[in-house]
Amino acid sequence: SQFANYAIVEKADAEKIIEKQNIDKVKNLVKEVKLKVTTSKTAKKSVKVKISGVKNLSSLIKEAKAMGYTVKYKFYKSTKKASKYKAVKTKTSNSYINTKGKKGTKYYYKAKVMVYDGKNLIAQTELKQCSYGVRTWSK
């Protein structure tokens, strides 16, 4: 009453197929992630940038780590809201503390999540503007 389909495949070919399926799954998960990036002042008047209140990020991290991938966070800053963002830090944690700035200058922050297979980038979220990201440097 039941039929099943079987295929005989060489191990190397099967591993390639599984790897492609895993990458496709991670890319689909990355598309569903909705980032919320916020800033706050620290006790030492530095600026803390944090990815929080994120939709679907925890499921992306769990799935990616279960498949052997690494999840990293990349933080950017600029003195202009719409352009000239420069990467300042790539970390494995979801927050970054900016300790350098020019007094009286407004800084804008952005962040994104990236998934790596060893050294190769396989997927990343869009670069997300901080919703509360304008901070005037006061040190």
pTM of the model: 0.80
Among residues 134, 131, 47, the alpha carbon closest in space to that of 89 is found at: 47
Give pLDDT, residue 102: 83
Beta-carbon count within 10 A of 46 CB: 17
| In the predicted structure, residue 48 carries a pLDDT above the cut 70 | yes
- Model confidence band, residue 129 (pLDDT cutoffs 50, 70, 90): low
Give pLDDT, residue 29: 85
The two structure tokens encoding residue 49: 């940038």
Asked whether 98 and 44 are in contact (CB, 8 A), the reply is no
Average pLDDT on 127-138 reads 64
Asked whether 111 and 124 are in contact (CB, 8 A), the reply is no
